[in-house]
Homo-oligomer: A and B are copies of this chain.
Amino acid sequence: MSKWVYTFGDGKAEGSAAMRDLLGGKGANLAEMSTIGVPVPPGFTISTEVCTYYYTHGNAYPAGLDAAVAAAVKGIEAVIGAGFGNAENPLLVSVRSGSRASMPGMMDTVLNLGLNDRTVIGLANRSADERFAYDSYRRFIQMYSDVVLGVEHHLFEDALDDVKRDAGVTQDTELSAADLRALVDAYKKIVAEELGKPFPQSVADQLWGAIGAVFGSWMNQRAITYRRLHNIPESWGTAVTVQSMVFGNMGADCATGVAFTRDPSTGENSFYGEYLVNAQGEDVVAGIRTPQHLTVKGKTKHGSTLPAMEEVMPTLFEDLGKIRTILEAHYKDMQDMEFTIQQGKLWMLQTRNGKRTVRAAVKIAVDMVNEGVLTKEEAVLRVEPQALDQLLHPTLDPKAPRKILAKGLPASPGAASGKVVFTAEDAEAWVKDKGEKVILARAETSPEDIGGMHVAEGVLTTRGGMTSHAAVVARGMGTPCVAGAGEIRIDAKARTMRVRDVVVNEGDVVTLDGSTGEVILGEVPTIQPEMTGDFATLMGWVDEIRTLKVRTNAETPLDAETARKFGAEGIGLCRTEHMFFDPKRIVAMREMILARNEAGRRAALAKLLPFQRQDFVDLFTIMKGLPVTVRLLDPPLHEFLPNTEAEQEEVAKASGVDAATVRAVVLQLHESNPMLGHRGCRLGVTYPEIYEMQARAILEAAVQVSKATGTSVVPEIMIPLVMDKAELDMMKAVVDAVAKEVFAAAGVTLDYTVGTMIELPRAALRAGKIAESAAFFSFGTNDLTQTTLGMSRDDAGSFLEIYRRKGVVEADPFATLDQEGVGELIRIAAERGRATRPGIKLGICGEHGGDPASVAFCQSVGLDYVSCSPYRVPIARLAAAQAAVRQKQG
C-alpha cells in the first residue's frame, strides 16, 4: 500500500528536506527541522500524490488515507499531551497547503481547527483567558466558513460591526469576552442560515473539510493564474500539512518571543531577541506590552529594567541557545526565529534567514568564514550587492524625523541637504560666491548644466528616468540624485517649486535621499560611510572569485580616481563629448559646428586638439596601463548649441557670425527624434575630420604617457552607433591613417585596437560581419534598450510607472536588463561575433553594468567585463563574484 501520510515532531520525522516534491516546501522543511532536533509542534503531511489521486479520481481520496490521518492525529496528541476534540485539554491544529514551489497566499489555510462549543471552554480554562478563547473560536468560524464552507465573508464583517456598535466600541480589541461569545453565536447563526445546517461541531468533520478545501484550492483561479505566470505545472499538486497549534498565553510557564542568532544591526555574534511571559505572538510586535530582552547583555546594553529570559527561565533559555547553535549550523546563516513556550515546553514556530543591515551582513559573512562555517564562495553570496551602496555613500540618520515633500526615482544613491536653486548658473554662483551648499532642482538637466551639477550637493529633477542625463551624470559624480519627481512643479522663472499647496522658494533647505527617491523639507542629519576591515576582507574574496572584469564609465580625472579607489580595472566607456562642454572648449566646438566647410571645421578642431589630448594624458596617467576604451563623439551636434534666442546671440558674438546664422544652423540641426538622428559614427562618416582629431588626441596622448611613465598604454578606440561593417571600416581607416602619422612623427609604435559599440538591433544581428573588423564589442545597453523596446528613456517616465503597476513590466528596463528582448540580441551578437573572431573582447558599458541581475546575465553570456559608474564598481564586483559562484553551482 502506498504511503500517503508523513509525520514529524518529537525529534524525528518520516520525511526530510530532500522530499520537497512529495511533501511540498513547508512539509519537507518541518520534517527536516524535527529531525535535526528542533522542537517543532508535531504534525503530519499528506503528500502531493494524494492531491494527484484526488484530481484523477473525481475528488475522491485513496483507500487507507482515513486510517493514516487518524493514526497521525493520535501521534500529535501523544506528543503534545492534548486531545483532538477533548473538552478539557483540546488539541488545536492548523491545516495548510504546501507546494513544491512557493506560491505565497495563493491557496487556503485554516487555523485553530478543533474548536467547537465544548473545546472552546477547555481552551478558556487552560489559558485562563476567556476572551482569547472566544476570539480564537470566532476567528476560526469565520475563516473556516469562508475557506471551507463558502459563506460570504462580508456577512461576518457585518455581524462584527453590529456587535461593536451594540458594545459602543470601535476597535475589535475593545470587545469583551461576553461580546465575543455573542459574536460566536451570531456567526453560527449566519452559517446555519446560509447553509441550512449548523456549523460543524465534529472536529473530525472540521479536519476533513479543511483538507478537502486545501486540495480544492490548488485549482482556484488565483492559483491557476499564478502557476501560468510562473510556469508551475498543474501536475505537481499540493501537499497538506496538519500541525498542532501551541499557545504562549496559558500561564506563567508560558511565553513567546523572537530571537536572532546574531545581532541583526551590527552583525556581532551574540544572541539577540525579545520575549514576553504569558503572551501571544502578536503581543510582542503589537507594542501593547513592552517586550523584554532575552539576554542580560542585551538588557544591559539597551538599559532595560525588565528581567531577561536568561534570568527568568534559565533552563528554557539554555534550550533556546542550543537551538540557536543547531539552526545556524544547519542553515549556515543568521536565523530569525519565532518561539513559543507552552506550559514549560519550548516550541519553535518558525526560523528563517534573518534580515540585517548591510554592515551586519558583511560582518556575519566574514565571521562565518573565519568560524569555518562558510566557504568564501558561500560568504560572498550572503551580501546583497545593491545594499553595498549604503557603505559607499552618506545615508540619512534613520532615527531623524523627515517631512517628505515628494517621491521620485532613486537615481543616484547617497543623501545630501542644501539650499535649493533652480539654475546651474545660480548653483555655481551660490557655491563659489557665497560658499553655500546647494541642491540643484531642474525640470531636466542638459550637458550645459554640468558645471552646476558638479558643485551641487544633490540634484533633483521632475522629469526623466533612471538613465536620464541627470541620473547618469550624478551617478558618475557620486552625487545624490532624485529624478523624475513628477509631483513637483518647478517654476524656474519665479524661482519656486511646489507640490500641491506646499511652495518651496529658492534658498529653502531641502534634503534628498538618492537611495529611496525621497525629497524632504529641511535638513536631515546624515551618517558618513566607513569602509570597515570586514568590507575590505570580503571584497578581497570577491576579487579572487569573480571571472568578469569590472571597469568604470569615466571621463574626468576625478571619476577615474574614484573608480580606481573602488577597484575598477580599467575604463570601459570614456565619453569624449562630455569633455567639450567646458566653457573654454565649447566655443571652439561651436565654431566647428558653425563652420561652412571642412577647412573651417579643421581650423576649429585644431583648437580642440590640445585640450582633448590633455584629457587623455590625464586619464592614461591615472589608469596606469589599465585598458581605456574611448568612445568617439556620439551625440548630435545640436546638443552643443543653445536653444534660447539670447544664448544664440551670445554664441554668435563669441563665434564671430551673425545671430541669424546661428539660428539657421540650430534650425537645420533640429531633429524630431535626436536619439535616432545624426549622431554616433554617422557624424564620423559625414565629418571624418572630427574623428580624425579625436583619434590623434588619443594616440598622441598614449605616446606621450607611454614615454613619460614607461608603462605601455593600449588605447581601445570605440566607434559608436555602428549598424553595418562598412561604417566601422570607414572609421577604422581614419583611425589607422592617423595612427600611422602619429607613430611616424613620434618614432614609436604602440598597440591600439578599434572596436565598436553594439547598441542597435541591426548591429547585434550583423555582429558576425562587423566582427571581421572589430577587435572588441561593447554593448551599449542604454541605447540598445531604447531601440529594441522602441522606448525613449527620457520619455518613458510617463507610462513606465503605469506599466509597472499593471504588471506589463517587472522592472525598469533601463535599470535592469530586459533579458528576453535586449538580452537575446546580446546573446546573438556574442555568438556571432565569437564565431567570426573567437577571441573578440566583449563588454557592456550601459547603465546595466552596475545592476546585479544584469551582471549575472553578462556572466551567463560569457562577457569579458562590465563597466559602470564609479560608485557602482564595488556593487558590480560583488555581483560578478556571486554570478561566478552561481554559475559554478550550475
Query: Which A residues contact B (CB, under 8 angstroms)?
Result: 671-678, 682, 685-686, 721, 723-724, 726-727, 730, 759-762, 765-766, 783, 786-792, 794-796, 798-799, 802-803, 806-809, 818, 820-822, 824-825
Q: A821's contact among B685, B762, B820, by CB below 8 Å, is which?
A: B762
In the bound complex, what is the Cα–Cα distance between A818 and B807 (angstroms)?
A: 34
Check if A783 sits within 8 Å of B787, measured CB to CB: no
Q: Please give the distance in Å from A16's CB to the nearest CB on chain B.
A: 38
Q: A723's contact among B721, B724, B790, by CB below 8 Å, is which?
A: B790
Check if B792 sits within 8 Å of A672, measured CB to CB: yes
User: Nearest chain-B residue to A683 (Cβ)?
Assistant: B799
- By a CB distance below 8 angstroms, the chain B residues around A806 are 685, 730
Q: Given A673-B674, A678-B798, A795-B672, decide whether A765 and B808 contact each other with a Cβ distance below 8 A.
A: no
In the bound complex, what is the Cα–Cα distance between A821 and B768 (angstroms)?
A: 12
Check if B807 sits within 8 Å of A789, measured CB to CB: no
Q: Please give the distance in Å from A812's CB to the nearest CB on chain B.
A: 14
In the bound complex, what is the Cα–Cα distance between A783 and B724 (angstroms)?
A: 19
Q: Please give the distance in Å from A829's CB to the nearest CB on chain B.
A: 12
Check if A677 sits within 8 Å of B762, measured CB to CB: no
In the bound complex, what is the Cα–Cα distance between A723 and B677 (angstroms)?
A: 22
Check if B677 sits within 8 Å of A792, measured CB to CB: yes
Q: Please give the distance in Å from A68's CB to the nearest CB on chain B.
A: 42
User: Nearest chain-B residue to A808 (Cβ)?
Assistant: B726
- By a CB distance below 8 angstroms, the chain B residues around A789 are 723, 760, 762
In the bound complex, what is the Cα–Cα distance between A801 and B426 (angstroms)?
A: 44
Check if A676 sits within 8 Å of B803, measured CB to CB: no
- By a CB distance below 8 angstroms, the chain B residues around A808 are 685, 724, 726-727, 730
Check if A686 sits within 8 Å of B726, measured CB to CB: no
Q: Please give the distance in Å from A821's CB to the nearest CB on chain B.
A: 4
A673-B792, A721-B790 given; 16 more Cβ-contact pairs under 8 Å: A671-B794, A672-B674, A672-B794, A673-B786, A674-B795, A676-B786, A676-B795, A677-B795, A685-B803, A723-B789, A730-B806, A730-B808, A760-B789, A761-B821, A761-B825, A766-B820
In the bound complex, what is the Cα–Cα distance between A766 and B808 (angstroms)?
A: 14
Check if A676 sits within 8 Å of B821, measured CB to CB: no
- By a CB distance below 8 angstroms, the chain B residues around A677 are 792, 795-796, 798
- By a CB distance below 8 angstroms, the chain B residues around A798 are 677-678
Check if B794 sits within 8 Å of A673, measured CB to CB: yes
In the bound complex, what is the Cα–Cα distance between A686 and B820 (angstroms)?
A: 23
- By a CB distance below 8 angstroms, the chain B residues around A795 are 671-674, 676-678
- By a CB distance below 8 angstroms, the chain B residues around A799 are 678, 682, 685-686
Check if B672 sits within 8 Å of A675, measured CB to CB: yes
User: Nearest chain-B residue to A680 (Cβ)?
Assistant: B790
Q: List 27 A-B contacts (CB under 8 A).
A: A672-B675, A672-B794, A672-B795, A673-B674, A673-B786, A673-B792, A674-B795, A675-B790, A675-B792, A676-B787, A678-B799, A682-B803, A685-B808, A686-B799, A723-B791, A726-B808, A730-B806, A760-B788, A761-B787, A761-B788, A762-B790, A762-B821, A765-B825, A766-B820, A766-B821, A783-B790, A787-B787
- By a CB distance below 8 angstroms, the chain B residues around A730 are 806, 808
Check if B791 sits within 8 Å of A685, measured CB to CB: no
Give the one of A676, A788, A796, A820 with max B CB within 10 A: A676
- By a CB distance below 8 angstroms, the chain B residues around A726 are 807-808
Give the one of A671, A686, A761 with max B CB within 10 A: A761
- By a CB distance below 8 angstroms, the chain B residues around A766 are 820-821
- By a CB distance below 8 angstroms, the chain B residues around A759 are 790
Give the one of A723, A724, A759 with max B CB within 10 A: A723
In the bound complex, what is the Cα–Cα distance between A794 and B809 (angstroms)?
A: 30
- By a CB distance below 8 angstroms, the chain B residues around A685 are 799, 802-803, 806, 808
- List 5 A-B pairs, minimum CB-CB distance, nearest first: A762-B821, A676-B792, A673-B792, A761-B761, A677-B795
Check if A790 sits within 8 Å of B674, measured CB to CB: no
Q: Please give the distance in Å from A466's CB to the nearest CB on chain B.
A: 15
User: Nearest chain-B residue to A486 (Cβ)?
Assistant: B668
